[in-house]
Every structure is written in C-alpha cells, then in structure tokens.
Structure 1
C-alpha cells in the first residue's frame, strides 16, 4: 500500500511540476556556475598573460633582435634573465633547435635577492620552488615559425611535477630568422585556488538556493493547484441529485477558469440530458398507463359482447346484430388507436422521410373533398394565397390537415359550425414561412389546457371525445410531424368562440 501511495504521489501533477521546476533550477545553477567558472578562469589567465608580457618591457626589444648567434645568447643570457625573473616567475633561453641553453635556476640565490631587494612587498614573500616547464624540441621549432614576435601567444604547460604553468615567449634575434626564444612561465596554482574558493562559495549559495527553491516551490505549486484540488473534490461529490452544482469560474487562473467553464458546460449538458431522459421516462410511463387503459376499454367491450353471444344471444337476430355492430365499432376504434400508436412510434424514431417541393394549394385541393365529407353539415371555407411552395412530405402534411380539421369537427356544432383553412406567407427573423391556419367557431379550449393539448392521450372533454372515437393522439401526431419538418405550430383559443391552429413551415427556395 505504501509503495502504491508513493507511485500515485510521483504521478501527481504537483509532484511532476515540482520535480521539473527543481530540475530546471538545478540545470540553470549548473550552467550559471560553469559560465562563471570559465569566465573567471579566462579573465585570470589573460591577466597573468598581460602581467608576464609586461615584464618583457624591462628589456630593450631592439637589444633582443641583435642577438643573432648562440654565443650571444650565452653571453647575455644571465643579464636578460636577471631583468625578467621575479617572484613566482621563471625564465629559460631556448636555441633555434629547441634546446635549453640557460634557465633562471642557473642564477645564484644571492643574485635573485639582490635583484628583488627593492620590492618591499616581495621581501615578505617566500619564493615557491617549481620546476621550469619544458616543451618537446619540435614544439619550440613550431613556436619559432609562428608569425610575428609572439605578443599574444601563450600556452598552459605542465612541468615534470605535474604543476600547471602559464607560459609566454619572445623571439631572440631577427624576427624572420630568430636564433632562439626567451620563455617566461608562472604557476597558475593561485588561479586554481581562486577558482576552488569560487566553486566552494557558489556551491554553498547554490545549495541554499535549492533549499529555498524547494520550500518556496512546494508552497507555490500547492497554492497554485488548490483550485484544481477543489475542483476535483467538487466533482467527486456530485451525484445524480446534485447535477445543478457548478464549479467556480473566477479562480484568477485562465487555464483553471477555462477548464471550470468546460466542466460546467458538460454538467449542464448532462443535467439537461438527465432531465430529458427523466421526462421521457415519465412520459413513457404515463403513455403505457394511458395506452393500457385505452386498449382495455374496447377489449373489455368486445369481450363482453362475445360472452353475451356465447350465452345464447346469437340465436336472437336483433341481439346478434347489435352485438356484432358493437364489436365492429370497437375493433375499428382499436385499430385506429393501434395505427396512431404506430405512427407516433415511427415519428419518435426520427425515421428518414423524403421531402419534395410542393405547392401547398394543390395539397389542400387534393384533400378538400374528403374534409367536406367529414364536416357533414358544417361549413368548410378555404382561403388560399396563390402558389406557395414548400419542401414537405405531402402525405404527412395531409395527415396534419386531416387531424386538425377532424379536431375542429369534434368541437363545433354539427349544424352551424364553420371551419376555415387559409394560407399566407410571413417573414420572421429574416426567414420566410408558409403560415397555414385552421380555425373554427367551436367550444374553444381553456387557457389552463392550452399547453397540454399536444400531450398524448390528453383530452379536455374526454366523454365527448370518446363518443367521437378520439383518444387524444391526433394532436400529438400533428406536433411530431411539424417538428420533423423543422416547423412550428401554435394555438390560440377562447372558450365559447373557437380555436385557431397556426402551422409555420419554411418556404422552398
């Protein structure tokens, strides 16, 4: 369990950010330290080069160019070195073959003391003993062949005791055909000491920075990621009953605020989907209950008449005729109910329907004879605007008109009822619509029922509707067909004066 917890901790965002921050800090400190080390070393080395080169000014350079033979080198070598050698500085004279003719070690100690007694600061210093560095003869030959008088030429060379020396040279004799070299060298142990102290100080400061960076970084990252932790806790506690919970979007961190906004949108979609699902389930439960009730009524009636016939009523012609007619009527009602349910089921499944460009006037003309027959003594008035084209499924729109007119027939007086069908066009928010209105002068619908009339099995006058053979599915089918056409249907009504259904469908381009 402990190992698992450690693995989880190492995979956490806070740990990964902190570890990468620590690594970046470590790399930066290393690069800064290395850069400072190289810069300091180069600076100190160049300073020593300048110091050594400055010692050549103690000698007349014209004098050096006049030493055109090895004998002259041997003759004046001590004089040259006596003027060049100082504390921690050694000198050598090399001939043109690369052989060492004379070194500062060949000078007596008394000569050196006498040469340096004027320098009060150097009196208190004890001259360190170092071997004089020596290069292979071929290297000296290459140096002699270098262009110029070697003013900027230097090397770091190890002596026989592996001590590192900074070495500079000047040519003796003519520059283009030198007879030898004079070599000055000084140990660089003081540079190493300075660099070692600098490394120690920088290492200590770096460790302190790493410790402070670790403490501050851990605190800063923890505080920075607090909104993310709070978001995680909030999301973990959200249940089905708390889908209305929202995450704060004012954390003053753009990424966290964006993530919170995304989660809130997702929660909104989930909440909406859940509410829609619950609504569908409730409607389905109510639908199954209502359908069961409506199916049971005709089935019970049919069952009752069959029992009557089996008990002997079949021998009575009048009773037989009455029972068979009743069974036929109830079976027709039952068939209509089942067909309506099948239509609604197909519409609910969003089955692909073929739409074609149609003239709505022609569609209404085709169905008007049937509508007038259904209306009986009621008056059917048709008021059509010329040539209105829409993309529709003709059969479905015919069913919409038929259902709406049939609904008006049920709720208007048989003798003085008036049903009006009218068409027009209307611009709504830069869109052009066909407006098909079906009005009647019937009993009307109460205001409290207007929002329910498209619900399945809803009937404001259930007894009258039952007598007329209605089950409250006609308007539900109308609503589903209109939705499938991306249209809209509205209703306005006044009790005792009548009802108007307005159907809106996009005009064809």
Structure 2
C-alpha cells in the first residue's frame, strides 16, 4: 500500500511537471521571435527587384544555407513570395499560411502561432511588416518561425530521466519498506509467540523489547502491564478459591463436630444408655454447650458474611472517643470475670510537648512524693520496662515549668458499634487464653506524628510465638486445635477483628507483653479537630488510670 501511494505520487508529479517544463521552454523560444521579426530578412537572403511593379526575390549566391529559423515573405496583399532559412529540404520546413496580408500581420501583433512540418515537427512563428532598405517605399510582410524540436528533446530527456529515477525510487522504497516491515513483523512475531504461550496457560511470559520511543516497544510495555494485572488477578482468584474451599471445609468441620456430639447423646438416650437423673443432666449439659458453641460459630460466620457484603457499602464514619469505649468494655469484662483486675490506662497525657525546664529559685526543701500503691506499681511494672534513673547533679536544680500539658484526645474516625465489637472480641480472646486470676489492661493513646489513635488490650497469658503472629488473623486458623476446642474457639474472632478494621481503614497487630502474654494494638485514624464535636473534647473522666 505504501509503495502504491509512493508510485501514484511520483506519477502525478511527473505528469504535472512535464507540461510546466515544456511551457517554460516554449516561452523562452517565443521571447527570441520579436528580435527576429523586427529585423528585415528579405535582403539577407534575396536580391529584391520590382520589374513591372511586381516584387521579385532572386536567391543570393552568398545567402546563408542553414539557419535556426525559417522565414516566409508575403506581399502586402497577402500573396506568398518566397521562403528561406532553416533546413534545405522542404519536408523539414513548416507549412506557412497560404495568405498573410498586411492587415492580418498587424492584427497578430506579438501573438505567436504554432506551425508543423510534413514530418511532424513543430515551430513557433510570429509575423511583422518590414520595408526594403535599398528600395524606398516598398513594404512586405514576413513570418519568422523557430523550431520547437530542442524544447521537445529537453522535455523528452527530462521525462526519461524522471521516469528512470522514479522507477528506481519505487524499487528502492519497496525493498526498504519490505525490510522495515519484515523487521517490524519479526518483533511482532515475538509478541505473537508470547501471546500464543499465554493463551496456552503460561502466564509467566513477558516481552523484553520495551523501547518507549517505538510503537512496538510501547505495545510490549502495555502487554506486560496487562499480563502483570492478569497474573495478579488470577493469583488473587486462586487464593480466593483456596480460601473459600478451606473456609467451607473448616466451617463444615466445625459445624459437624457439635452436631455429632448432639446426635451421639441423642442416640445414647434413645438406646437407654443414659437412664439416671445424673447421667441425663450431664448429657443435657453437654448438648447445651455444643449447641451454644454451634450458635456462636454460626453468628461468627454470619458476621464475616455481613462484613464481606458491606465492604463496598458506605459506612457511617463519625468521630469516636476511645476512652468511653475502653471504660465500657472494661465494665462488661469485670461482670464476666469478677476475679480479674481490669485496668484502663489513658496515655494521651504522655503525647505532649516536652516540659520546659527553668533554673529553680531558692525555696523551701522539696516535699517527698508519696510512693505508688502496690497495685499501681505492679501494673506499671508489667506494662513498661523502665531504665535506671540518671544520677542527679547536686550543683544544678531544675523544676518543671507550670505550663499545662496539651493532650491529644484519642478521638478517631470510625463506626462506634464496630469499634466496640473489635474491643469486645479482643477482650474475649484475652480472657479465654490467659489465667483466670491474671490482670488485663486496656491502654488508650494517640500518636500525633502517625495521625492514629490506639487502644491496646494487654493480657498476661501464654503469649503468641512470633512465627505464627502473621497467621492468627486468618479465618479458621488455630495454633492449637485441641486448646481451641477446649476453650470454645473456632478461629474466627480475630478474623472478624481484622475485617472490621480493614473496612474502617485501621489496623491491628500483636506484640509480646513484657513479662509474658500478648498485647493487641488497634490503630484507627485520628479525627480532624474541625470535624470533632465539642462534647467529645470535654473531659468526662479526668483520670489517667482506672482500676476495676
């Protein structure tokens, strides 16, 4: 197609330039005619006489034998007298008009006419009137013709050269385009082979020519990007399918276990193996526990299903103060576990500018601060690892400035019911996997640099080994199946926590509690000050620590 367009363009250019060139050559020839017609040519070729009042032209012996032009002479009445110049043979002379009167010559003026020879050659001619120099008062008409053969030869030569150059250009262009197309399609052939391999199921194929300045390079880059996304989507689909299969298998297993127990006790009762009141009460107790466990599992499954369904819905995100959430959760846990010590710690007072120290003025001796109570000292010792106090320089005394600390309230963006569900699930997990008499702390804080509010649930149980911490938030994952069954867990509580926090743009991670145990830290984005209602900024309980 490209070669055809090029050939068409060259043909059009040749057809258009040939008439222009020929016209220019003829115009140059026509510009020579006025100088020839303005000069009398009769006495140059003939001896002119007027016997009996009639012009007679006799050929001179020394007349030019051949000239570039041909001239014809006429009387004023238009009768031809003679012709001269040009080629000697008549077939090479143009066919002049049969009559050319004085009036006709004057009417032509500077106009030129085209004459032809018997052999087919063309001449350009012009007419004018002249007077004899040797015989005064005698006027005649002459027509001078110049051959156009030279112009036709130049045009013909040009056309031949142009045609040759055009043909060579078309041939070279065809070869060059064929080479470029072959090279381009050779690179596209690699794209084709890669696409065929991908169609066969090998999604690891990638294209290598990634030159951004070429179309093929940009195409390869786009295909690689598409393949990366397709590969990622397929891997995500495979993970989803595997998780779904594992989820269905685990859910079926977890539901089948209590159903088998209930069915077994029912069959024992039907067969008469359970007859006494004590055995019947024990069997009913086991059936009730298995039913409760199955109900909890179904509720957790429904909660996860609702979370997955609501993930694309718009949540009602509002500012929430984490301190009342922690206090309410601690009160609920205190009712469920009356033998535990539940402590709520507000660490937002620590998130402030460092106090400015000024040299102390001479004053009365300082009064010793009261020692902390045994409970406070024990809890703080478990939560913090304090360094040894620095030695005091006796020659310099500093006191804290009286500037009041600026607290960063732990007011976060979230949905209150879901945040409370997260804290409740984590407290239930801490209560389930820690000794019955061990304390549990809820530590509320805010990190202005990270822009998050935090609430940590600290227990002092067995803890979680580092190698399994990344798996504990997966669905139906349990580190110890037997322990999970004894404690009634199915491996869904922490998965619900992770799903809720993901929908709230928050996060949760677990750390080791100093002295043993696990600390689950929940982080949620802090609410902007302008979006926080005024009543949330008021201190509802000005205590940094609450022991229950």
Q: 2:292 is matched with which residue: 310, 328, 332?
A: 332
Q: Does 1:466 align with 2:485?
A: yes
Q: Whose RCO is larger (CA < 8 A, sep 6+)? A: 2
Q: CA, structure 1 residues 261+78, in 2 after alignment: closer, same or farther (shift >3 Å)?
A: farther
Q: Within 5 Å, which residues of 2 pair with 1:295-314? A: 295-312=255-272
- How far 1:417 sits from its partner (Å)? 2.8
Q: Give the TM-score taking structure 2 as reference length.
A: 0.71
CA–CA distance in 2 between the matches of 1:192 and 1:233? 59
The equivalent residue for 2:227 is 267
The equivalent position to 1:380 in structure 2, one of 324, 338, 342, is: 342
Shift, 1:128, TM fit: 0.9
Ranges in structure 1 where 5+ consecutive residues have no aligned partner? 1-18, 61-73, 117-121, 174-178
Structure 2 gaps of 5+ residues are 42-52, 132-138, 349-407, 529-548
Residue aligning to 2:185: 225
| Cα deviation digits, residues 124-159 of structure 1 (max 9, x gap) | 88771321258999x969x849xxx63xx5455679
How many Å separate the matches in 2 of 1:439 and 1:324?
A: 36
Q: Judging changes above 3 Å, is the alpha-carbon distance between structure 1 residues 351 and 318 closer, same or farther for their aligned structure 2 residues?
A: farther
Which position in structure 2 is the counterpart of 1:486?
Answer: 505
Match of 2:78, SS state, is strand
- For 1:251 and 1:243, how far apart are their aligned partners in 2? 22
Point out the more displaced range, 323-332 or 306-315: 306-315
Once structures 1 and 2 are overlaid, which stretch shifts more, 210-219 or 331-340? Answer: 210-219
Cα 1:398–1:300 shift into 2, 3 Å: same
Write the distance in 2 (CA, Å) between the matches of 1:438 and 1:182.
127
CA distance in 2, matches of 1:197, 1:231: 50
Mapping of 1:32-181 within 5 angstroms?
A: 32-59=13-40, 86-91=67-72, 101-103=78-80, 106-107=81-82, 112=84, 128-132=92-96, 144=107, 150=110, 153-154=111-112, 156=114, 164-170=122-128
Deviation track 1:169-191 (CA, whole Å, cap 9, x = no partner) reads 55779xxxxx9986433343443
CA-CA distance at 1:304 after TM superposition: 0.9
Alpha-carbon distance in 1 for matches of 2:494, 2:142:
117
Secondary structure at the counterpart of residue 242 of structure 1: coil
Compared CA separation, residues 376 and 38, structure 1 to 2 (3 A):
farther
Summarize deviations over 1:318-353 as a string: whole Å, max 9, x none.
222222222111111101101111111222232515
Change (3 A) 1:133 1:312: farther
Match of 1:446 in 2: 465
Distance change in 2, residues 1:172/1:324 (3 Å): farther
Asked if 1:411 corresponds to 2:433, the answer is yes
Normalized against structure 1, the TM-score is what?
A: 0.76
Quick one: distance in 2 between partners of 1:375 and 1:140?
Answer: 137
Q: Report SS of the residue matched to 1:248.
A: coil
Q: Does 1:358 align with 2:358?
A: no
Of Structure 1 and Structure 2, which has the larger fraction of its residues in helix? Answer: 1
1:481 deviation in Å?
A: 0.8
The secondary structure found in structure 1 opposite 2:510 is: strand
Residues 485, 505 of structure 1: 8 Å contact kept: yes
Q: Distance in 2 between matches of 1:33 and 1:135?
A: 40
